[in-house]
């Protein structure tokens, strides 16, 4: 300790500041390297091996990737993820945007409603998933009962019929996340310059033009943000599947994350799971880059 | 009725319908938790229970492989150190990135930012292998360590906040020979209470709600977290939805209390994380 102090006194003020800076970031940086960058590299490395944790890993080159592209279940998982995005994103964006429009006005109790809508967001996903398992129950679920009473619809196997399972989980996710996306849209809407509306009012534009020509274009960056997050989350969706369907019925709700998890931790196929992670990494990176590019263009356009 | 009034009436109807859609599932959870098993599966279902079975909660709290209270304590053992240390280390790093000049500062900062976009799946397996090789399987260490030394998101947020503070703030202190640790702790930290509150709530919630982490690392029943215990209800009490719903409510209580106390900070956090994108 004493030594260190002596040597520090010999430093210039600038060097001292730099040293302090390095000390301040030291642990986070070490943690970042060990917990993020090293695993990323090792994950790619492992993906070239056949490894079940019991035997020594054997190098097999790109064999895992070859298997992966011919793996029906992986393809189904990928297709399910895309299907999920196509079902979930429009439902989620439209409903949260409508919610934001609804609350973007002087309304008594707007704060209360905002808080209420946000409640599902903070709920643990396990709780929400279990609740919807009960609501969606084919024979005793309240949803089927209501549908029968109101529209005389025969019981639907929301989670047990492969035609509906993905859709049912998407509806639950809209319910859970609408409040979050609404807040993002709301803060974008409230950031719009009042003068724009005044100028528009002088020109006598209709509410519809106001929506399509002012609000939507100016909220576009937030819409992209919400979409990007939804796409990335779709690839990482795990808990909902684990609790609600375990990927079933059949393979109808297998997502890439769930399949990856089951390969790694149920079948101990570490190399294969890492190859899957690598593919996922590349896809998410591509999506992020594309979306960033679009977004930058939009932002410049706004300015 | 004037046009304006009619418009706000429609808005209220819309807001009300959505409110009902949000509340109904919660209400259904609540009434289901109080029902007897016979009533739970009765046809046609009743909304309010005929007899309110408070015992369901006692049963749900005690009938799992470990008591609910124990699961809660286990979760705290993960969430509290993760949150507290995360904020200390993240804000220190955030201070360095915002205020100190050192070579490669911006490059290193970019490395942190880039890490925010990395999907967890790619780090999942090597991290698991690392912790397993170190003998930390079935301990809380793998759930705390990756978070406690600071996470990119927290570092980013604290840095952004520190950047908005005026330079004059620490200049006088530096002239007086005050160390940066003291400036950080005695000047900056008190000023950024709101951001610290926001980060604490976020970090705590994400630890409390985490499911995949415990599923991968925790094996013995005695170490179950709330979320794991709840999910195991589904296997051990098949179709005892009364108990599952009662357990869910128990798991919800801490989150709801936290939310009601800190909603101001949560809303602010969203505004800022939205900014990130």
Q: Do B229 and B197 reside in the same domain of the chain? A: yes
Task: With CB atoms and an 8 Å threshold, state whether B274 touches A187.
Answer: yes
The mean pLDDT value for A90-103 works out to: 89
Indicate if A157 and A36 belong to the same structural domain.
Answer: no
Q: Are residues A173 and A33 in the same domain?
A: no
Q: Note the pLDDT of residue B272.
A: 64
Answer whether A35 sits within 8 Å of B155, measured CB to CB: no
Distance from CA of B58 to the nearest CA of A (A): 18
pLDDT in the model for residue A303 = 35
Q: Is residue B58 part of a domain?
A: no
Q: Which residue of B has its CA nearest to A295?
A: B277
CB contact burial B116-150 (16+ within 10 A = b; e otherwise): eebbbbbbbbbbbbbbeeeebeebbbbbbbbbbbb
Binary contact (A130, B215; C-beta < 8 A): no
Burial of residue B41 (CB within 10 Å: 0-12, 13-18, 19+) is middle
**Same domain for B85 and B23?**
no
- A31·B146 Cβ contact <8 A: yes
pLDDT at B1: 55
Closest CA to A126 of A77, A159, A172, A88: A172
Determine the Cα–Cα distance for residues A154 and A158; give it in Å rounded to an integer. 12
Pairing of the two strands A58-59 and A49-50: antiparallel
Is there a single domain that holds both residue B91 and residue B32? no
3-class SS string, chain A: CHHHHHHHHCCCHHHHHHHHHHHHHHHHHHHHHHHHHHHHHHHHHHCCEECCCCCCCEECCCHHHHHHHHCHHHHHHHHHHHHHHHHHHHHHHHHHHHHHHHHCCCCCCHHHHHHHHHHHHHCCHHHHHHHHHHHCCCCCCHHHHHHHHHHCCCCCCCCCCCCCHHHHHHHHHHHHHHHHHHHHHHHHHHCCCHHHHHHHHHHCCCHHHHHHHHHHHHHHHHHHHHHHHHHHHHHHCCHHHHHHCCCCCCCCCCCHHHHHHHHHHCCCCHHHHHHHHHHHHHHHHHHHHHHHHHHHHHHHHHC
Q: What is the pLDDT of residue B275?
A: 46
Q: Which residues in chain B have their CB less than 8 angstroms from residue A281's CB? A: 118-119, 121-122
Q: What is the CATH number of the domain that holds B228?
A: 1.10.3720.10
Lowest-pLDDT range, A25-39, A222-236, B147-161?
A: A222-236
Kindly indicate the confidence band of residue A4, based on its pLDDT and cuts at 50, 70 and 90: very low
- The reply to whether B109 and B128 lie within a common domain is yes
Q: How many CB atoms lie within 10 A of CB A62?
A: 11
Q: What is the mean pLDDT of each run of 10 residues along chain B (277 residues)?
A: 74 88 92 85 81 83 82 93 94 91 91 87 92 93 93 90 83 81 86 84 89 92 90 80 89 87 74 51
- Note whether A253 and A48 are within 8 A (CB): no
Same domain flag for B135 and B198: yes
Q: Find, in chain A, the residue whose alpha carbon is nearest to that of B14.
A: A102
Which of A140, A235, A261 is the closest to B41 by Cβ? A140
Instruction: Tell whether A194 and A279 lie within a shared domain.
Output: yes
- Asked whether residue A61 is domain-assigned, the answer is no
Could you tell me the two tokens for A124?
A: 């643990």
Q: Are residues A102 and A218 in the same domain?
A: yes
Are the CB atoms for B65 and B232 separated by under 8 Å? yes
All residues of chain B having their beta carbon less than 8 Å from the beta carbon of residue A188 are 274
Domain count of chain A? 2
B88: which residues sit within 8 A by CB, 6+ positions away? Answer: none
Q: Most distant CA pair in chain B: distance in Å?
A: 78
Claim to verify: residue A8 and residue A74 sit in the same structural domain? no
How far CA A299 is from CA of A63, A120, B160, B270, in Å, comes to 43, 31, 20, 20
* Contact (Cβ atoms closer than 8 angstroms) between residue A44 and residue A270: no
**What's the domain count of chain B?**
2
- Residue A229 in any domain: the answer is yes
- Residue B273, pLDDT score: 59
Does A300 score more than 60 pLDDT?
Answer: no
Q: Which two tokens stand for residue B186?
A: 């005695």
* Cα distance between residue A248 and residue A107, in whole Å: 44
Residues B48 and B70 in one domain: no
Confidence of residue A298 (pLDDT cuts 50, 70, 90): low
ipTM metric: 0.87
* Domain identity same for B154 and B231: yes
Mutation target to probe the A interface, by most A beta carbons within 10 A, among B26, B102, B148, B184 is B102
B42 plus B156 within the same structural domain: no
What is the SS3 string spanning chain B? CCHHHHHHHHHHHHHHHHHHHHHHHHHHHHHHHHCCHHHHCCCCCCCCCCCCCCHHHHHHHHHCCCCHHHHHHHHHHHHHHHHHHHHHHHHHHHHHHHHCCCCCHHHHHHHHHHHCCCCHHHHHHHHHHHHHHCCCCCCCHHHHHHHHCCCHHHHHHHHHHHHCCCCHHHHHHHHCCCCHHHHHHHHHHHHCHHHHHHHHHHHHHHHHHCCHHHHHHCCCHHHCCHHHHHHHHHHHCCCCHHHHHHHHHHHHHHHHHHHHHHHHHHHHHHHHHHHHC
Same domain, A23 and A141: no
The encoded tokens of residue B18 equal 């959505």
Q: Are residues A37 and A112 in the same domain?
A: no
CATH number at residue A248: 1.10.3720.10
The whole-angstrom separation of Cα A166 and Cα A36 is 31
pLDDT at A55 over 60: yes
pLDDT at A141 over 80: yes
- Please tell me which residue of chain B has the smallest CA distance to A241: B212
Facing A145 at nearest CB: one of B45, B215, B266:
B45
Is A162 found in the same domain as A26? Answer: no
Q: What's residue A297's pLDDT?
A: 66
pLDDT score of B269: 67
A255 vs A240: CA distance, rounded Å:
10
Is A159 found in the same domain as A12?
A: no
Largest CA distance in chain A: 86
Q: Is residue A185 part of a domain?
A: yes
Asked whether A227 and A88 are in contact (CB, 8 A), the reply is: no
A299, pLDDT greater than 60: no
Residues A111, A161 share a domain: yes
Q: Is residue B156 a part of any domain in this protein?
A: yes
User: In chain A, what residues touch B25 (CB-CB under 8 Å)?
Assistant: 131-132, 135, 175
Please state the rounded mean pLDDT for residues A66-94: 91
Domain containing residue B115? 64-276
Do A23 and A99 sit in the same domain of this protein? no
Q: How confident is the model at residue A15 (pLDDT cuts 50, 70, 90)?
A: confident
A207 and A265 co-located in one domain: yes
Query: Looking at residues A130-157, what average pLDDT do you find?
Result: 87
Q: What is the pLDDT of residue B196?
A: 86
pLDDT at A293: 80
According to the per-residue pLDDT averaged within each range, which of A200-209, A284-293, B68-77 is highest? Answer: B68-77
Is B24 in the same domain as B139?
A: no
- Average per-residue pLDDT for chain A: 85
Q: Are residues B137 and B230 in the same domain?
A: yes
* Domain housing A15: 2-46
Task: Name the pLDDT band for A33 (thresholds 50, 70, 90).
Answer: very high
Peptide bond into B58 cis (omega under 30): no
Residue A54 falls within a domain, yes or no?
A: no
């Amino acid at each position: 300790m004493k030594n260190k102090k002596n040597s520090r006194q010999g430093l210039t003020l600038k060097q001292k500041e730099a040293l302090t800076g390095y000390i301040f970031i030291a642990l986070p940086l070490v943690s970042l390297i060990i917990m993020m960058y090293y695993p990323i590299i090792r994950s790619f490395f492992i993906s070239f091996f056949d490894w079940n944790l019991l035997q020594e890993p054997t190098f097999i080159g790109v064999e895992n990737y070859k298997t992966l592209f011919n793996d029906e279940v992986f393809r189904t998982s990928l297709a399910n993820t895309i299907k999920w995005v196509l079902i979930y994103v429009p439902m989620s964006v439209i409903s949260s945007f409508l919610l934001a429009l609804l609350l973007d006005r002087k309304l008594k109790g707007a704060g209360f409603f905002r808080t209420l809508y946000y409640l599902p967001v903070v709920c643990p996903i396990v709780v929400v998933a279990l609740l919807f398992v009960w609501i969606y129950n084919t024979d005793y679920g309240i949803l089927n009962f209501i549908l029968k009473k109101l529209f005389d619809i025969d019981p639907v196997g929301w989670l047990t019929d492969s035609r509906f399972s993905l859709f049912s989980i998407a509806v639950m996710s809209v319910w859970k996340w609408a409040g979050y996306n609404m807040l993002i849209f709301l803060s974008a809407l409230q950031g719009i310059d009042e003068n724009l509306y005044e100028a528009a009012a002088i020109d006598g534009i209709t509410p519809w033009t106001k929506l399509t020509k002012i609000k939507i274009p100016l909220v576009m960056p937030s819409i992209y943000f919400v979409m990007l997050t939804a796409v990335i989350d779709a690839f990482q969706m795990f808990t909902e599947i684990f609790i609600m369907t375990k990927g079933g019925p059949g393979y109808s709700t297998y997502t890439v994350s769930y399949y990856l998890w089951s390969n790694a931790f149920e079948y101990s196929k570490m190399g294969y799971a890492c190859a899957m992670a690598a593919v996922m990494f590349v896809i998410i990176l591509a999506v992020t880059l594309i979306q960033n590019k679009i977004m930058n263009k939009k932002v410049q356009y706004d300015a | 009725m004037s046009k304006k009034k009619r418009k706000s009436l429609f808005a209220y109807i819309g807001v009300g319908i959505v409110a009902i859609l949000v509340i109904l599932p919660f209400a259904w959870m609540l009434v289901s938790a109080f029902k007897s098993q016979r009533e739970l599966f009765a046809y046609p279902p009743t909304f309010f229970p005929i007899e309110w079975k408070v015992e369901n909660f006692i049963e749900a709290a005690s009938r799992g492989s470990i008591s609910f209270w124990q699961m809660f304590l286990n979760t705290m053992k993960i969430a509290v150190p993760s949150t507290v240390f995360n904020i200390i280390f993240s804000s220190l790093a955030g201070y360095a990135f915002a205020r100190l000049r050192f070579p490669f500062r911006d490059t290193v900062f970019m490395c942190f930012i880039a890490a925010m976009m990395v999907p967890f799946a790619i780090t999942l397996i090597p991290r698991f292998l690392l912790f397993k090789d170190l003998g930390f399987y079935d301990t809380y260490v793998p759930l705390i360590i990756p978070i406690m030394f600071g996470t990119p998101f927290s570092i980013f947020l604290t840095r952004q906040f520190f950047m908005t503070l005026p330079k004059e703030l620490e200049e006088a202190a530096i002239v007086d020979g005050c160390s940066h640790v003291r400036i950080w702790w005695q000047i900056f930290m008190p000023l950024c209470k709101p951001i610290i509150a926001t980060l604490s709530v976020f970090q705590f919630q994400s630890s409390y709600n985490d499911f995949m982490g415990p599923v991968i690392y925790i094996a013995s029943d005695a170490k179950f977290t709330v979320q794991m215990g709840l999910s195991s209800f589904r296997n051990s009490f098949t179709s005892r939805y009364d108990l599952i719903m009662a357990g869910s409510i128990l798991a919800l209580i801490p989150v709801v209390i936290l939310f009601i106390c800190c909603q101001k900070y949560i809303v602010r956090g969203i505004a800022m994380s939205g900014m990130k994108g």
